[in-house]
Homo-oligomer: A and B are copies of this chain.
Amino acid sequence: MLGVLKDDGYRVTAPRRALLRALAETTEPLSVQELHAQVNPDYKPGDEESEEEINLVTVYRFANLLVEMGLVRRVEFGQGYYRYEREESQTGPHHHHIVCRQCNRVEDFHGCDLQGLTERLEGDTGFRIERHQLELYGVCPQCLENPAPDTRRTSGGRTVAVE
C-alpha cells in the first residue's frame, strides 16, 4: 500500500510505515487506540521518556486518509468507537465478522451470499444497493467453555460486571 500512497503524491514516513505494518499484521479490525499501542510498543501514558512516540492524532489522521483513499474500511461493533481494517481489495475475498460479546474477539468469515437478497431488494425498493455490512454476535467457543461472570452491556456498549 506504500506504493499507492506514493503514486497519489502522499509521503512515506516512519509513522505511516509502522501503521501500515500494524494493519497488515492482523486480521482483526483495530481501534485507533490499538493501532496507537501497536506502533508505540513501550508507551506509557504520561511518559516523558518516549521521544519516539507516534501521536494519537497522527493515527486518526492517517486512518482517515486510508479510508478516503479506499485502502482501509471502517467498521463498528457497537463499542462506542470505530475499528479499521484493510479493504477487501487489499486482503482478498469479501468477508464479514463474528463478534464475541464476552471477550470482544472478532473473527472473519466468508460466504455471506447476499446476492439474491440485494437483487430482490433493488427491485422491491428502487434503491441502488452499493455495499452491505453484516455482523454476527454471539459467544466464542473459548468463552462458552469458560463462562465469565454474568455481564450485560451498558448503554455505552462497554461490558461491565453486574453486582
Verify B128–A139 contact, CB threshold 8 A.
Answer: yes
Residues of B within 8 A of A100 (CB): 127
Q: Which of chain B's residues have a CB closer than 8 A to the CB of A129?
A: 98, 136-138
A155/B60 in contact, CB under 8 A: yes
Q: Is there an interface contact between B132 and A137, defined as CB atoms closer than 8 Å?
A: yes
Copies of chain A in the complex: 2
Q: In the complex, what's the smallest C-beta–C-beta distance from A48 to chain B, in angstroms?
A: 30
A interface, CB within 8 angstroms of B: 60, 63-64, 67-68, 74, 76, 78, 98, 100-101, 107, 109, 111-114, 117-118, 120-121, 124-141, 144, 152-155, 157
User: CA separation between A140 and B122, bound complex, in Å?
Assistant: 10
Inter-subunit contact A137/B144 (CB<8 Å): no
When the two chains form the complex, which single residue of B63, B101, B111, B130 contacts A137, counting CB atoms closer than 8 Å? B130
A98-B78 in contact given A132-B134, A132-B135, A136-B118 (Cβ < 8 Å): no
A129–B135 Cα gap in the complex (Å)?
10
28 CB contacts below 8 A, A to B, read A60-B155, A64-B154, A68-B152, A68-B155, A76-B78, A107-B125, A111-B117, A114-B134, A121-B136, A125-B140, A126-B140, A126-B144, A127-B138, A127-B139, A127-B140, A128-B144, A129-B136, A129-B137, A129-B138, A130-B138, A131-B137, A131-B138, A132-B135, A132-B137, A133-B133, A133-B137, A134-B134, A134-B135
Instruction: Compute how far the CA of A121 lies from the CA of B95 in the bound complex, rounded to whole angstroms.
Output: 13
